[in-house]
Amino acid sequence: MKKFFTNIKDEVVFIYTEVKKSFSNEPSYFSSKRIERMLLFLTALTASNVWFWHKYPDLEYGEIIAYVSVHLGFAGYTMYQTEKSKKNLNQTEDDDNELDTDT
């Protein structure tokens, strides 16, 4: 059991140091852009959920559907942007590899 908690502590320390590195000039395991997007998304999600639960008794079905649609649309947009940046990164790496083999 002690080993389990030691592993968790090691993981938390690793994540903390990598997040700290991602906002500095040091190479990091995480992307600062994705961390910023995640924090913004979680903040917006928390704020809208607080609003929703506060206004829930007075909402009609159409308003609830609109609320859910906005959340799903934003989640889809975020996933699209993430996939787009992955494709751009992979294309850049492929282009660099082609340049290396041409010389």
Q: Phi and psi at residue 94, in whole multiples of 5°? A: -65, -40
Residue where the block lists tokens 């993430």: 82
Residue type present at position 17? T
pTM over 0.95: no
pLDDT tens, residue by residue, 4-21? 888 888 889 988 888 788
pLDDT tens, residue by residue, 43-94? 888 888 888 888 888 888 898 888 889 888 988 887 888 788 777 777 766 6
Q: Tokens in use for 42?
A: 């979680």
* 48-57: b (≥16 Cβ within 10 Å) or e: eeeeeeeeee
- Residues 6 or more apart in contact with residue 51 via CB below 8 angstroms: none
